[in-house]
Every structure is written in structure tokens, then in C-alpha cells.
């Protein structure tokens, strides 16, 4: 018989607060058209994107995360000293070590929390949320700060007609804590590594450095049509699995918050899932662009701030991207 004592956590976990930060510079499509042969109409029709935010040198991954975290903590009514863990999902923090989570934890005033980064691309927020839920239920942390943050403008090839218009910068954060009732459903997550070449960094860092930086700086590239088909058909199945795992149907949903990759993907998923008209759908991509790991919490924050969604609503969230990886779950909005 095991001598290990059982965990003394909460029976359930929930999102208690959300915060977001968008860089001050707003970049319209006209700026993108200075370096690619396209049109505003083509960009909007292909992606639904009209503007995106690009960070200044001062708006670092850490700085944006601190701003979003402060808002999330205030929204949750939780002090930095109560945070037991900080999880940061990002692919655009260029310092390999230490984890940027440790810097963020220090800057917000957390006291010796667990702190680490994860690299799960556009599904990263869902991965972090799932880990945070486990920590709260297990009892290893009472409150967990989950951050999705990107400076994808640093990894954008402005001469690549397929991707130059897609990416934006920003940070979104949530505080996860104890709950007396289920408020974060089971996560349906996974990967399809055989498709990893469809979204990737153009040049590995070691090759770039080995050639003395003589090549074009590494950027994110993707096979658009292959990604579109995968996202629309396969991710709709994953989204349905998340609904099934939570024991609800599309009729029970109030809100749908998919990764803000592309408006056409979002609209196609809504159609495939046969979401009722009463379901509010996040379409933050129009003015924020694709912010990878930050897109779901940023979209969630905007829906709540504008009143398009309200506290207590039932929301389906799903992230998917490079890897190819994915994560979907049903949550109660803070």
C-alpha cells in the first residue's frame, strides 16, 4: 500500500479573471501592401484581417505579459503573492533560458512561484490552461497565472505574400483558481507530427547562426491550403469531442472562442459545428490578426469587455497550429 498522502487541492478549478494587452501601434493592411503585391480587398477576403498590432522595442514579451497579468489579477481579485505558478506559452521569446515566466513572476511581485514556458504554438493557451487546472485540483498551487504572449512581428517575412498580413503581437492572461463546481471541462488535445512541415520556422537557429546570419532572418511560414483544410475539418471534430467530453451540446453553448487564425476558418468551423444563432462567436482576428498563443485570452477579454459575452457564460475554446497541435475544452467565463 502506498504511503503517499492524497492531494489536498480543490475539487474543481475555474478561470477567475482575464486580462489583455495590445501594443499601441495599429498597422493597417496598407502598410503590409508596401512590401507585397496584393490588395486590401484580397487580404480581407482571404483572412478577414483589416488591422493588427505590432510591438515597439519597449513592448517586449515580458513587458506585454506584465501588463496583461496585472489586469487579470485585478479582474480575479487575487494578489500577486497568492500566485503559486506562472505558465507562459510563447514561440517568440528569443532567449532560450531562463524562461521568461521567471522574469514575469518577479516583475508582478509573485513570491517564489513555479514558473516555466511552454512551446505549443497556437494551442499553447489551451495547454497552459489544462496544466493550471491540474495544479489547482492537485493542490500544488492555489492560484495559477496562465499567459499567452507573442511578438510575431519579429518572425514575419514581410515579403512573403502568403503570411505577411497574418501575424500580430499581444498578450493575454487568465488567473485559474479553486471552484466548487466544474468550470473547466476535460481537455481534448493532441498532435499530428506527420504534418509538422505545414507550419514551421523557415531556418533553424543553429543553421542561421552557422552561416553567420547571412540568410534572411528566420520567419514563420505555412502551407495555407493544407492548414485551412486541416483546421476546418479535423478541428471541428476535436471541438465536437470537447463538447461531448463536457456533456453538453452546441445548443448549450453561449460563446465560441476559437484560435483567431483566419476569419474563413472561424466561419467554416461555425458552419460545420452547426452552432445556433444565439452563440456569440469571437472574431477578434479582424483587428488583432493572428497572435498565436495570445489569441484566445485576448478574444475572451474583448468579448467580456464589450459585453458581447458575460460572466458565467459557457464557452467552447479551441486552439490549433504549428506541430500540428491542438487543444479544446469548455469553460465557464469569469
93 annotated active-site: no
3-state secondary structure of 212: coil
Catalytic residue, candidates 29, 93, 262, 290? 290
pLDDT given at position 214: 65
Give the helix ranges, DSSP H, for the chain: 29-32, 40-47, 61-76, 100-108, 124-138, 205-210, 224-229, 235-246, 263-273, 285-288, 295-306
106 annotated active-site: no
Please answer whether residues 168 and 149 qualify as being in contact, where contact means their C-beta atoms are separated by less than 8 angstroms. Answer: no
Closest CA to 68 of 143, 17, 132, 13: 17
pLDDT given at position 210: 75
Catalytic residue, candidates 29, 53, 93, 259? 259
pLDDT given at position 209: 78
3-state secondary structure of 268: helix
pLDDT given at position 248: 97
Q: Left (φ > 0), alpha (ψ -120 to 50) or beta: where does 323 sit?
A: left
Please answer whether residues 135 and 128 qualify as being in contact, where contact means their C-beta atoms are separated by less than 8 angstroms. Answer: no
Q: Which residues are CB-contacts of 118 (< 8 A; sequence separation ≥ 6)?
A: 87, 88, 89, 124, 127, 128, 131
Tens of pLDDT, residue by residue, the chain (334 residues): 788 877 788 899 999 999 999 999 999 999 999 999 999 999 999 999 999 999 999 999 999 999 999 999 999 999 999 999 999 999 999 998 999 999 999 999 999 999 999 999 999 999 999 999 999 999 999 999 999 999 999 999 999 999 999 999 999 999 999 999 999 999 999 999 998 898 888 888 888 877 766 678 889 898 888 888 999 889 999 999 999 999 999 999 999 999 999 999 999 999 999 999 999 999 999 999 999 999 999 999 999 999 999 999 999 999 999 889 999 999 999 9
Q: How far apart are CA 56 and CA 58, in angstroms?
A: 5
Catalytic residue, candidates 53, 93, 122, 262? 122
Cell of 253: 453553448
Q: How far apart are CA 9 and CA 137, in angstroms?
A: 5
pLDDT given at position 204: 85
122 annotated active-site: yes
Q: Is the pTM of this model over 0.85?
A: yes
pLDDT given at position 212: 66
Amino acid at each position: 500500500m502506498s504511503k503517499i498522502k492524497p492531494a489536498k487541492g480543490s475539487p474543481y478549478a475555474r478561470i477567475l479573471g482575464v486580462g489583455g494587452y495590445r501594443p499601441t501601434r495599429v498597422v493597417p493592411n496598407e502598410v503590409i501592401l508596401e512590401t507585397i503585391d496584393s490588395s486590401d480587398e484580397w487580404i480581407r477576403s482571404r483572412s478577414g484581417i483589416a488591422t493588427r498590432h505590432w510591438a515597439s522595442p519597449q513592448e517586449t514579451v515580458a513587458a506585454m505579459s506584465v501588463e496583461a497579468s496585472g489586469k487579470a489579477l485585478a479582474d480575479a481579485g487575487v494578489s500577486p503573492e497568492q500566485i503559486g505558478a506562472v505558465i507562459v506559452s510563447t514561440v517568440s521569446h528569443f532567449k532560450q533560458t531562463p524562461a521568461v515566466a521567471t522574469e514575469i513572476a518577479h516583475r508582478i511581485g509573485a513570491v517564489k512561484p513555479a514558473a516555466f514556458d511552454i512551446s505549443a504554438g497556437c494551442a499553447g493557451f489551451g495547454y497552459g490552461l489544462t496544466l493550471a487546472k491540474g495544479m489547482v485540483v492537485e493542490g500544488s498551487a492555489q492560484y495559477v497565472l496562465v499567459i499567452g504572449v507573442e511578438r510575431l512581428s519579429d518572425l514575419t517575412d514581410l515579403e512573403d505574400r502568403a503570411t505577411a498580413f497574418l501575424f500580430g503581437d499581444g498578450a493575454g492572461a487568465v488567473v485559474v483558481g479553486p471552484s466548487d463546481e466544474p468550470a473547466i471541462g476535460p481537455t481534448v488535445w493532441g498532435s499530428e507530427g506527420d504534418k509538422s512541415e505545414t507550419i514551421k520556422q523557415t531556418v533553424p537557429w543553429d543553421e542561421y547562426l552557422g552561416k553567420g546570419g547571412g540568410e534572411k532572418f528566420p520567419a514563420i511560414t505555412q502551407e495555407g491550403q493544407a492548414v485551412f483544410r486541416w483546421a476546418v475539418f479535423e478541428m471541428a471534430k476535436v471541438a465536437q469531442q470537447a463538447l461531448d467530453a463536457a456533456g453538453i451540446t452546441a445548443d448549450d453553448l453561449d460563446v465560441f472562442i476559437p484560435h483567431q487564425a483566419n476569419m474563413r476558418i472561424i466561419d467554416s468551423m461555425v458552419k460545420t459545428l452547426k452552432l445556433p444563432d444565439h452563440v456569440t462567436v469571437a472574431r477578434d482576428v479582424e483587428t488583432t490578426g493572428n497572435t498565436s498563443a495570445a489569441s484566445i485570452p485576448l478574444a475572451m477579454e474583448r468579448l467580456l469587455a464589450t459585453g458581447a459575452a458575460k460572466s458565467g457564460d459557457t464557452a467552447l475554446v479551441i486552439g490549433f497550429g504549428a506541430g500540428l497541435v491542438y487543444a479544446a475544452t469548455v469553460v465557464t467565463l469569469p
